[in-house]
Amino acid sequence: MTRIDDTFARLRAEGKKAFVAYIMAGDPDLETSLAVMRGLPAAGVDIIELGMPFTDPMADGLTIQLAGQRALDGGQTLQKTLDMVAEFRKGDATTPVVMMGYYNPIYSRGVDRFLADAKAAGIDGLIVVDLPPEEDVELCIPAQAAGINFIRLATPTTDNKRLPKVMQNTSGFVYYVSITGITGAAAAEAADVGPEVARIKAATDLPVIVGFGITTPEAAERIAGVADGCVVGSAIVKLVGEGRPVAEVLARVAELAAGAHRA
């Protein structure tokens, strides 16, 4: 059982849906992003998704691309991201942290070294968007052996033939991408998402969390209502990019979390 498994068990017992918040590590600087991260649990965030800045974020829209560039310009590295999680863990031993990003920085570090360091820092899960199931031996299987959940993305184009392959080594939860395209590109619609979530849940016992295109508390409520929870990223990252004070960012996160928890 990981912190992710424990969190979903608790939420089920409470009859609540999960609210997942994405932030970019090191955006606009390490100090600010750590302050935001530390404030997320009290704002109602059940799981923190921490972006690893990368030079070629192919799945991300402009808002998150710019966040990653700001972080890189500010000197953020994979090591600093691991250190950030370790620092967060000094004050929070229970909130799950999922690192989301791309394989290149992990490969460059070395998978075995990365997994040992990630586990020691207190990371619970990985979402690596450019590693398909055919490459499970690269990172997915070693991660699970190290006690770190490997969370897979399913999309509107993941058909019934492909779905079992996507599910085969997934753990923690399934991340359903609600739209075809990049982050922040369009609004998620519950009427479209609901049947897709049901289709995925027929293929797995794992919780299904929906992300991409959720920008308001009302949307969070609607989408969480047809899934096991929702992810908000670009709407939070945008506030950071605008230079809003940490307290203002966290106040908006609390509004979004309240929407998801009403579902």
Which positions are annotated as active-site residues?
49, 60
| Nearest to 37, CA basis, from 1, 91, 74, 117 | 91
Three-point CA angle 90, 93, 95, nearest 5°: 120
Tell me the C-alpha distance between 53 and 180, whole Å.
22
Q: How far apart are CA 54 and CA 25, in angstroms?
A: 11
Of 144, 64, 142, 134, the C-alpha closest to 101 is 64
Burial 178-209 (b: 16+ CB within 10 A, else e): bbeebbbeeebebeebbebbebbbebbebbbb
* Residues 54, 101 contacting (CB under 8 angstroms): yes
In this structure, what DSSP letter does residue 151 have?
P
Tokens of residue 253, six digits: 């996160």
What value, to the nearest 5°, has the Cα angle with vertex 14 and ends 8 and 17? Answer: 55
Is the CB of residue 143 less than 8 Å from the CB of residue 126? yes
Query: DSSP class of residue 72?
Result: H
How many Å separate Cα 142 from the centre of its chain?
20
